[in-house]
Amino acid sequence: MTKLPLAALALALLAAPAFAAGDAAKGENEFKKCKACHSIVGTDGTAIQKGGKTGPNLFGVIGRKVASEDFAYGESIKAVGETGAVWTEEELAVYVANPTEWLKTKLGDAAAKSKMTFKLAKGGEDVAAYLASVAPAAAP
């Protein structure tokens, strides 16, 4: 009788999406690929990572609303932001692997597209962990 609940639990765990926590130190190195378009600049103007301005400043991106008002985002990502979605490490890792596919999935719209053409084939979890590590401290 107890085998059935255990089997059901095992099956549920296997079916759940897996997310391996990233390595912030590796992510800092991987971020070099992102610097062509992105910077990380604190609210006081301190540059944590100098970079381009084609993409948004990624300071505090983890925990921030998707497509927040501080950048001229494309229509598809703005539509995701309008749902109230917030960036998590997991979501950001999936997004950077294939931004357009992430948008299509989130919106259920095959015509959705991203202005971010770069795809980070591997290391997204590490970059997300790095961005979380340089985020402002959570408010008490």
Query: Which fold would CATH assign to domain 21-133?
Result: Cytochrome Bc1 Complex; Chain D, domain 2 (1.10.760)
What are 105-134's pLDDT values in tens digits? 999 999 999 999 999 999 999 999 999 999
pLDDT level of residue 20 (50, 70, 90 thresholds): low
pLDDT surpassing 70 at residue 140? no
Using alpha carbons only, what angle is made at residue 33 by residues 61 and 97, rounded to the nearest 5 degrees? Answer: 65
Using alpha carbons only, what angle is made at residue 138 by residues 33 and 70, rounded to the nearest 5 degrees? Answer: 55
Q: Where are the alpha helices (DSSP H) in 1-88?
A: 3-15, 24-30, 75-81
Residue 3 is predicted with a pLDDT of 52
Q: Is the dihedral of CA 56, 116, 123, 49 positive or negative?
A: negative
What are 30-78's pLDDT values in tens digits? 999 999 999 999 999 999 999 999 999 999 999 999 999 889 999 999 9
Q: Is the dihedral of CA 71, 67, 17, 23 positive or negative?
A: positive
pLDDT surpassing 80 at residue 17? no
* Cα gap 77→62, rounded to integer Å: 16
